[in-house]
């Protein structure tokens, strides 16, 4: 399952994000948000597979293996605007599979 999730995540371009739930649905996991979180946490290639682009459905950036500040900086560098831990214009920044 991990390979399928990582392959799907590679479709999310720089400057866009997806949610744990949307990624789960895209790979056929019903209510699989927690499974996706675990898979992201165990990502062996975080530089190649952009797990930092997976965020919470409420627009908050959520956790990251290397810390929320690192995730914040990576997303900001890609052009995502964040205020108080939440993505501004979340709907515009979302990638739809």
Catalytic one of 36, 51, 55, 75 = 51
3-state secondary structure of 87: strand
Contact 20, 37 (CB under 8 A): yes
Give yes or no: 86 in active site.
Answer: no
Contact 17, 87 (CB under 8 A): yes
Q: Return d(Cα 44, Cα 21) in angstroms, integer.
A: 21
Q: Return d(Cα 40, Cα 71) in angstroms, integer.
A: 13
Contact 19, 55 (CB under 8 A): yes
Q: Please list the active-site residues.
A: 51
């Amino acid at each position: 399952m991990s390979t399928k999730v990582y392959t799907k995540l590679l479709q999310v371009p720089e400057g866009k994000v997806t949610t744990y739930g949307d990624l789960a649905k895209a790979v056929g996991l019903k209510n699989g948000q927690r499974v996706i979180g675990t898979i992201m946490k165990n990502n062996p290639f975080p530089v190649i597979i952009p797990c930092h682009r997976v965020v919470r459905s409420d627009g908050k950036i959520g956790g990251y293996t290397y810390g929320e500040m690192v995730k914040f900086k990576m997303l900001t560098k890609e052009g995502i605007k964040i205020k108080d831990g939440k993505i501004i214009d979340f709907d515009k920044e979302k990638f739809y599979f």
